[in-house]
Every structure is written in C-alpha cells, then in structure tokens.
Amino acid sequence: MVPAAAAAPPPAKLMALEGLEAGQYAELGDPRLEGKVVADEVERVIKVGLCCLHEDPQLRPSMAMVAGCWHA
C-alpha cells in the first residue's frame, strides 16, 4: 500500500501546475524579488522544471536539452 503522502504532489509542484494552468507565472517568482521578475523567464523556468519532475523518468529531458532551453 502506498502512503497517502507519497500520492500527493509536493506543494511547489502543485503551485507550479496551478500557475501553468492559470497562465500566472509572475506570481510564482521568489517573493523576495518583490515582483521584479520577467514573466517570460519565470514561465520558462516553471515549464522546464515541471518537465524535469515528470513522473516517468524516461520522459524527463536530458541535461543537454535543459541547458538548451536557457539559450532559446
């Protein structure tokens, strides 16, 4: 039997997924930055991060692919 805690996504992942669905990326930036974030950059970080957290390890991007995302 799988413990209940293992089935629930971590809070940060849940927040990122909710932000992705709502298209509200700037709100996911570090609050210490006091809103001084570039929404497009936060969006890219969130999307890449979620890909790296995919439940199926075979579907996660390689480090080369991740590095390529920062140069796009």
- All residues at 6 or more sequence positions from 48 whose CB lies less than 8 Å from its CB, including other chains: 61, 66, 69
56: containing domain:
4-69
From 10, 12, 11, 54, select the one nearest 29 (Cα to Cα): 12
pLDDT of residue 72: 60
Q: What is the pLDDT of residues 40-64, one digit of tens each?
A: 888 888 889 889 988 899 999 999 9
Asked whether 46 and 28 are in contact (CB, 8 A), the reply is: yes
Q: How many domains does the chain contain in total?
A: 1
Give the number of residues written for the chain.
72
Give percent of the chain above pLDDT 70.
85
